[in-house]
Structure 1
Amino acid sequence: MEESDTIITLIGTKLAKTGNEFIFKGAAKDCEVCKLNKTCLGLNVGSKYRIIAIRNGGKLECFIHDSGVFAVEVVETPIVMGIESRKAIKGSKIVYEPVECNLINCENYKICRPAGLRRGDKFTVVNVVGELSGPCERGFLLKVAEVKRNDKHRSE
């Protein structure tokens, strides 16, 4: 992991533990008036992060977290998704196109349609994990891969 992959953000004191993971859902309405919101909101909406360190500096007040927030260092973790077999090559660049499937009870649905991603998001394949856990009911030929986001469309 490169040092440039580390992001400093703020997180509620009750959640601020090294190793904890979270998915950034975006700003709450109360965040608009906060003078620290640029620090909190410099993350990609829908991406998963792991806390790698708690920064010194003490607790800060927050409109959302009743016990305040701590500054933490986070890294974005790879996203696991189903991609076309022909594109499942370590190091390849892909553009996310959601699988045209509405079988929400399928055991592979969350891999084929990861939450928080938008059509056109750009990724690099970090690792090809293998096959889907069961046959695709729609007949898609997909591999399971870990991908890392290329473009940074951070929240505003």
Structure 2
Amino acid sequence: MTDTDTMITLVGSRLAKEGEEFVFLGESRECQKCKLKRTCLSLEPGRKYHVVKLRSDTVHECFIHDSGVLAVEVVSSPVVAAIDSKKAIAGARISYERPKCTDFDDSLYDLINPEGINNGDKCTVSKVIDSIDEGLLSGCSLKKVELNL
């Protein structure tokens, strides 16, 4: 991670801890009247972020977060997902596609439908974690991987 990878934003004071991860959901109606919204809304909606550093102890009022917001530095978080085994090569640059498996064990739901990534997103397979037991799937060969956007 380099300094250029970090972004400054405001997050709810309860989330403002180093190591905390969150998915940025985007602008709320209440954000329209806030004078700090440009700082908060600098992130990409639907993406997963990781708090790397608190910037200040100053709590700012917020129409959404009842305990206010704090300035933090964040980076994009890797997404752990299931992808087709043929694409699961460490270092490969791929266009993400959700597996087309329709019959799978409930324990795989979060891997097959991961938060923070969308079909068509360009990403890099940073790590191949494991093969997924084919007994939990029907008609698919998948691997659990870590993806970086």
**Residue matched to 2:8:** 8
**Residue matched to 1:49:** 49
- Residues 60 and 70 in structure 1, CA contact (< 8 A), matched pair in contact too: yes
**Residue matched to 1:24:** 24
2:65 match: secondary structure: coil
Deviation at 1:133, TM superposition (A): 5.2
**Residue matched to 1:148:** 148
Paired AA for residue 68 in structure 2: G
Q: 1:103 to 1:34 in 2, by over 3 A?
A: farther
Paired AA for residue 119 in structure 1: N
Deviation at 1:105, TM superposition (A): 5.1
Deviation at 1:3, TM superposition (A): 1.6
The whole-number CA distance in structure 2 between the counterparts of 1:119 and 1:58 is 38
Which segments of 5 or more consecutive residues in structure 2 lack a partner in the other structure? none
Q: 1:35 to 1:102 in 2, by over 3 A?
A: farther
**Residue matched to 1:35:** 35
Q: 1:29 to 1:101 in 2, by over 3 A?
A: farther
Paired AA for residue 127 in structure 1: K
Which structure has more helix as a fraction of its residues?
A: 2
**Residue matched to 2:138:** 138
1:61 match: secondary structure: coil
TM-score, length-normalised on structure 2?
A: 0.87
RMSD: 2.0
Question: Are 1:88 and 2:103 matched, yes or no?
Answer: no
Paired AA for residue 141 in structure 2: L
Q: How many residues align?
A: 149
The whole-number CA distance in structure 1 between the counterparts of 2:133 and 2:38 is 40
TM-score, length-normalised on structure 1?
A: 0.84
Deviation at 1:39, TM superposition (A): 1.4
The whole-number CA distance in structure 1 between the counterparts of 2:52 and 2:116 is 22
**Residue matched to 2:119:** 119
The whole-number CA distance in structure 2 between the counterparts of 1:36 and 1:133 is 47
Which segments of 5 or more consecutive residues in structure 1 lack a partner in the other structure? 150-156
Q: Which digits, 9 at most, give the CA deviation of each residue in 1:59-110, with x for residues without a partner?
A: 2221111222110011221101111111111111111222223447522121
- Residues 108 and 133 in structure 1, CA contact (< 8 A), matched pair in contact too: no
